[in-house]
Structure 1
């Protein structure tokens, strides 16, 4: 069919599963490990089959929950069996790792046996491992995770030492030091065991007995390793990664009063590392994660009383409410009381440094770093007094406001990071209604952000993030707060859902529109449009331009904005397919607004059809032809 070109990601084949149907086959696979581990071929076939089964549940891992314990117990039986040769034990741990990979280690951890009697055997098993063996890293990874669970036992570790003089007359190492040495050893390896060692550190160092005697020394060691290592070399990168992971986990799980004395020193060391200049994405992301956790340590863990809180969350009530009724719902935010309640307390000077680093992180060249920075801005702003929080929001809006009229002088990365941060702040109720008039123009501009770079363009991520902002605002605010902006937001979302070049942006806009229809209940003809432009309908671009757009243009609120968008943004698009589809869409929409097309649109198009830009000239000539043809057909039909 004409115009129905294949788009990447337009067709999503998803297997929606109901239950863990292969549980019996998996039990047989695990039961047969003793027979198959000896032969390379049979062993690899068993692993491949197990991976094949487990990977099917990557999108619905919760279906495994009822079977996790059974699978784990069967595999741990092999591990504890003294007759199991080392290759069989490694194979059992490999299977355990595959399950953990699908379900996530956080869900898996509490299921490990964690009684007092398990501590010494697991420690001994870990001590026998070779940290540099590339074949058995799954064993070390799982043992470190297991140890991170066992180390939570509520007994002083000194009780496990007994008589520290062994049978040979040599002094044995205390259990506490053994565990610390193991953690330090695995924080500097280059495989996955490093991640588990960071988890172990976060659980082990915050134990009351360890905290008193070892926490300061451990942090000294970490900071000295950080300052000695260079992120420019491969070895240095591995060490810096391990240290940052350990610190990030420690400041996440440790109590604030335990971590606060060390936070300033850690921040200074982090500043001296200059991670923002590193070319390693993972290090910059871990740096962002650690900076925001240090920031959360500096400020008291309290929910801001000044934040905007929406009352009624019932979808049924929203849908029943008519425009006039919604208008009367408007209520003042309890800001006055919040000002009185907001007990004054000193915000440490370091917070300014932290927020500045997070704002810079919003412009990072990698999405994962920008996303971490956006979440950090949301979390920290929620703990600041109202005036300081407003300063942060002002600085964030400056990301977009480098020129009058929100020009695109800032890079696409700054726009993307800024939109993510706005959505996070809105979602948490930290953008007060007084700021909505500043934010909505930015959001509307971001919904059509498209910047040409060479033969292609950038900006689909910005448009996607702008849809996330619309989605977050729909959930955050009372309908009355957004009433003045409804016509602009609804038109912009419809245009994005129907005319965006990228399928993921069309689907994001459709989802945001749906959220607004449900939560706000004020979008004109919301349900009708939603039915026509749902997630699956907007998957086909030609269908969007030629069929859905005509239906939506039938509603007078959307006709003119859709025509203006096609004329201003799409007939001069860099992609010829979009230009051609746009002109056909103008042809199909002409019967809805013939006067506007003849008196306003054609006079605008004629000068463009002899302009200097080839893309614009091509689109304008085609558009003039299509509109004239449509007007001609209309005239014949109406005998005018």
Structure 2
């Protein structure tokens, strides 16, 4: 008996703690590789072997980078100890910062930058290291990028920077300038370069300009320079487009991090300068995205930060809190929501504030960007529409929704449908799409779930269907079940059809995830738990399994039987992909026994 218990404990250790032990071994190996840098940096083969092994281990955390968080700060400090030492040879210093860059690429700069040392004593050494860098030395590109990120944190010390000038070395060159000017010049030096340091310099400038002592002296100077540069910008060349990207990125981050009272006086002319660029006609998608970000953040600057009192409020969004509510409380909350979140005129002071005329131009540009040919631009525009609508009065917000619904026509491109779905999801999850609009929105979402436009020997529309699943996922979290009850059967059938019959695996999985979210949050989907048990996120990964087995299981539920058959007969029988047509014929053969009369009637009416 004792031997059996011992074997069981060993098995549990292998299953439960194997991953932890493996992770611990990998982290220890990483620490060992870092500690050996001083010995291998002079040997080219040993150095390349070390970097290759380090990259392999770090890349394993790419899908779940948060797993390295408990060790992240200690690894950074170990590398910075090597990199910040003034006696460290340049080759070893570049190697340390290169490894730190690999960690940053895996975990994300927003997380890593918060863990940099940011004491007063760090400002001068980091600035000295940046000043020593050569922008043309491409082997030290990672070093420059990490130093600029480090300075973006170090420059935020809560003391006036003029206090540090008395301690600065008074030798020749740049050191004669005040430290404020030196940091500004160092960032501007890398703002227009053709490398990753450009992004770090933009982030550094945006954080540096928000300091109380800096914004008085340097903010007007920088904005004057930026406006002059934008006015003369020529983005038809690669170099011009890259340089303009750095300037626009800085402006976008500046309006994100800065205070409204400091930037409001400059917002109008910045918007005018960006509008005159006509970036929607530019071929560079990164540049168009930067233009959308600047535009939406200027729009947010025009409007005071507020929470719209007219927005729809479901109540608690936490599943744990919802499960703790009593049945009477749930019924009471649903009864209140059935009367509408708020009627016009209930809160007049919410409407009594001026809306600048420039807001109309901002919203128009964002709506036009929802039609963009690149997803990154449409996604940024959709988030901008959601953020700005949340600060508008009810009537103006409803006009935005009306304009948004105008994107869903046969004359519009698939990009407009995709961008429109993303915007609807953003409005829904923010409570800005009131239940009164659901009769107009739900039919559009159902059409988007089946959107498939033929283009020769292929079709487009997978991204539209994926975005429509995101809308259904957002609606599940946004509305009370009583608001969605009249649309439940249609949404459930459309999501089931997409999850088992769609050609693309990412759409099937998105539909399955949206169906699961609705079952958990709404609790009103017919046979929801039974279907999820079989057709979960992983089960829908195999298309043949979906068509021939899952369809048979779901068809036993009368709520879905005829919808499954009708979809196959109307859509999939004449699909452009021969593999889909073949699977459709087999699926229809199998489904005949589930509804023979309907099958015969459907075939007779259609053929």
Q: TM-score range by the shorter chain?
A: over 0.9
Residue in 2 that maps onto 1:612:
none
Please give the alpha-carbon distance, in whole angstroms, between the structure 2 residues aligned to 1:419 and 1:355.
Answer: 17
Residue in 2 that maps onto 1:370:
378
Residue in 2 that maps onto 1:235:
239
SS of alignment partner, residue 161 of structure 1: helix
Structure 1 pair 21/476, CA: closer, same or farther in 2 (3 Å)?
Answer: farther
Q: Alpha-carbon deviation of 1:69?
A: 2.2
Structure 1 unmatched runs, 5+: 1-15, 402-407, 607-640
Please give the alpha-carbon distance, in whole angstroms, between the structure 2 residues aligned to 1:259 and 1:192.
Answer: 27
User: 8 Å contact 1:20–1:64 — kept in the other structure?
Assistant: no
Structure 1 pair 524/163, CA: closer, same or farther in 2 (3 Å)?
Answer: closer
- The correspondence for 1:568, drawn from 567, 570, 575, is 570
Residue in 1 that maps onto 2:526:
524
Please give the alpha-carbon distance, in whole angstroms, between the structure 2 residues aligned to 1:602 and 1:69.
Answer: 66
1:175 aligns with 2:182: no
SS of alignment partner, residue 457 of structure 1: strand
Bigger mean CA offset, 80-89 vs 533-542: 80-89
User: 8 Å contact 2:209–2:218 — kept in the other structure?
Assistant: yes
Structure 1 pair 250/428, CA: closer, same or farther in 2 (3 Å)?
Answer: same
Please give the alpha-carbon distance, in whole angstroms, between the structure 1 residues aligned to 2:74 and 2:595.
Answer: 67
SS of alignment partner, residue 58 of structure 1: coil
Bigger mean CA offset, 421-430 vs 169-178: 169-178
Please give the alpha-carbon distance, in whole angstroms, between the structure 1 residues aligned to 2:359 and 2:312.
Answer: 23
Please give the alpha-carbon distance, in whole angstroms, between the structure 2 residues aligned to 1:355 and 1:17.
Answer: 49
- The correspondence for 1:117, drawn from 118, 121, 132, is 121
Question: What does 1:109-148 correspond to in 2, within 5 Å?
Answer: 109-148=113-152
1:602 aligns with 2:606: no
Bigger mean CA offset, 152-161 vs 49-58: 152-161
Q: Alpha-carbon deviation of 1:333?
A: 2.9
1:502 aligns with 2:510: no
1:344 aligns with 2:360: no
Residue in 1 that maps onto 2:294:
290
User: 8 Å contact 1:506–1:538 — kept in the other structure?
Assistant: yes
SS of alignment partner, residue 231 of structure 1: coil
Structure 1 pair 592/183, CA: closer, same or farther in 2 (3 Å)?
Answer: same
- The correspondence for 2:110, drawn from 106, 115, 138, is 106
Please give the alpha-carbon distance, in whole angstroms, between the structure 2 residues aligned to 1:232 and 1:54.
Answer: 38
Cα deviations by residue, 1:362-416 (Å, 9 ceiling, x for unpaired)? 1100011100000100111011000000000000000014xxxxxx331110000
Please give the alpha-carbon distance, in whole angstroms, between the structure 1 residues aligned to 2:372 and 2:593.
Answer: 47
1:384 aligns with 2:381: no
Residue in 2 that maps onto 1:334:
341
Structure 1 pair 164/325, CA: closer, same or farther in 2 (3 Å)?
Answer: closer
Cα deviations by residue, 1:321-343 (Å, 9 ceiling, x for unpaired)? 9x999976753233137533415
SS of alignment partner, residue 190 of structure 2: helix
Q: Alpha-carbon deviation of 1:604?
A: 2.4
- The correspondence for 1:280, drawn from 279, 284, 287, is 284
User: 8 Å contact 2:84–2:126 — kept in the other structure?
Assistant: no
Question: What does 1:59-98 correspond to in 2, within 5 Å?
Answer: 59-98=63-102
Question: What does 1:399-548 correspond to in 2, within 5 Å?
Answer: 399-401=407-409, 408-548=410-550
Residue in 2 that maps onto 1:7:
none
1:398 aligns with 2:406: yes
Please give the alpha-carbon distance, in whole angstroms, between the structure 1 residues aligned to 2:174 and 2:476.
Answer: 69
Residue in 1 that maps onto 2:54:
50
- The correspondence for 1:149, drawn from 149, 153, 156, is 153
Please give the alpha-carbon distance, in whole angstroms, between the structure 1 residues aligned to 2:178 and 2:346.
Answer: 53
Please give the alpha-carbon distance, in whole angstroms, between the structure 2 residues aligned to 1:519 and 1:574.
Answer: 36
Residue in 1 that maps onto 2:211:
207
Please give the alpha-carbon distance, in whole angstroms, between the structure 1 residues aligned to 2:346 and 2:115.
Answer: 44
Residue in 2 that maps onto 1:358:
366
User: 8 Å contact 1:329–1:480 — kept in the other structure?
Assistant: no
Structure 1 pair 426/169, CA: closer, same or farther in 2 (3 Å)?
Answer: closer
User: 8 Å contact 2:152–2:204 — kept in the other structure?
Assistant: yes
Cα deviations by residue, 1:472-511 (Å, 9 ceiling, x for unpaired)? 0011001000111111111111111111111111111111
Q: Which has the higher contact order (CA 8 A, sep 6+)?
A: 1
SS of alignment partner, residue 543 of structure 1: helix
Please give the alpha-carbon distance, in whole angstroms, between the structure 2 residues aligned to 1:45 and 1:277.
Answer: 46
SS of alignment partner, residue 452 of structure 1: strand
SS of alignment partner, residue 459 of structure 2: strand
Please give the alpha-carbon distance, in whole angstroms, between the structure 1 residues aligned to 2:276 and 2:494.
Answer: 45
SS of alignment partner, residue 77 of structure 1: helix
Residue in 2 that maps onto 1:631:
none
Please give the alpha-carbon distance, in whole angstroms, between the structure 2 residues aligned to 1:536 and 1:100.
Answer: 31
Question: TM-score w.r.t. structure 2 length?
Answer: 0.92
Residue in 1 that maps onto 2:13:
none
Structure 2 unmatched runs, 5+: 1-17
User: 8 Å contact 1:17–1:60 — kept in the other structure?
Assistant: no
User: 8 Å contact 2:429–2:477 — kept in the other structure?
Assistant: yes
Residue in 1 that maps onto 2:189:
185
Please give the alpha-carbon distance, in whole angstroms, between the structure 1 residues aligned to 2:246 and 2:149.
Answer: 15
Q: Alpha-carbon deviation of 1:317?
A: 7.2
Question: TM-score w.r.t. structure 1 length?
Answer: 0.88
SS of alignment partner, residue 70 of structure 1: helix
Cα deviations by residue, 1:483-540 (Å, 9 ceiling, x for unpaired)? 1111111111111111111111111111111111111111111111111211111111
Cα deviations by residue, 1:193-228 (Å, 9 ceiling, x for unpaired)? 111101110111111111111111111111211222
Please give the alpha-carbon distance, in whole angstroms, between the structure 2 residues aligned to 1:84 and 1:519.
Answer: 57
User: 8 Å contact 1:375–1:424 — kept in the other structure?
Assistant: yes
